[in-house]
Amino acid sequence: MKTFLTVIALGATLSACNKEDLDPATEDFSSTEQASPGQTATSDSIEILDNPVEPMDSSCTINPSSSGGIKSLVTFQPSSLIRLCPTWINGDREFDGHGPKTRAYVSLFISGGNRVRARVYYKVRETVSDWSEAVYDEYITLYTAPAGRTITSINSDTYIEVNYIDWNHNTAPVTLGSNQPAWRFIMNGDTQGNDIGNCTTDDAYLTVNFNPVQVTLN
């Protein structure tokens, strides 16, 4: 059976730099900020692996800013998000071979001037009645700038989206570009048993493997 994928990516800007110590990534699931459209749901399960991909060292070049300060370019490696389970919101929890129609995206943005956050969105919906459906929609802090510093730009791409209809029981790993927020999505839709609401390895889920992210600090 065939699976059709649509991938959407958006870019960002580039600035100049210097090396800074990095604060570790922290989890933050507040959903008060709106980085892009979508429904809101709360997940009961999230697993973050420490250094699942070999991190890149921060790199730097010193350039004075127009205000006389020093700007710093920092590259950090967000931890992977493993098996994010969407919350069951409609239907009988079983896709029964009718899709699901799937939409997944990651959107990076600057929050409060000193944090890089990601909106992670994953929606699965059956293609016929009774429209079994589940949504994951969370905001996660990936990086916090050192005290006294502000983030002026995210220099790598800030948005990636994948859309497809799942017609089998296999996971769907999608390899993405090296400059996009993530280098891979792994998506699970239709399964052997109930598909949504249990949060097991045999349920619908999304895994996100991030690329290194580059930011400019003031």
- Residue 206 reports pLDDT greater than 90: yes
Structural domains of the chain, count: 1
The pLDDT of residue 24: 33
Task: Give the pTM.
Answer: 0.72
Tens-digit pLDDT profile for residues 11-52:
544 333 333 333 333 333 333 344 443 333 333 333 333 333
Containing structural domain, residue 212: 5-217
Share of the chain above pLDDT 70, in %: 68
| Site of tokens 């239709």 | 190
Mean pLDDT in residue range 81-85: 96
Provide the token pair at 7. Answer: 């991938």
Structure confidence at residue 34 (pLDDT)? 41
Q: How many CB atoms lie within 10 A of CB 173?
A: 11
pLDDT at 44: 32
Structural contact between residues 211 and 180, judged by C-beta atoms closer than 8 angstroms: yes
pLDDT at 131 over 70: yes
- The band of 70, judged by pLDDT with boundaries at 50, 70 and 90, is confident
CA angle 138, 142, 146 (to 5 degrees): 140
Quick one: CA dihedral 107, 187, 80, 210, positive or negative?
Answer: negative
pLDDT confidence band for 56 (50 / 70 / 90): very low
Average pLDDT, the chain: 76
Q: Residue 215 pLDDT more than 50?
A: yes
- Mean pLDDT over 126-136 rounds to 92
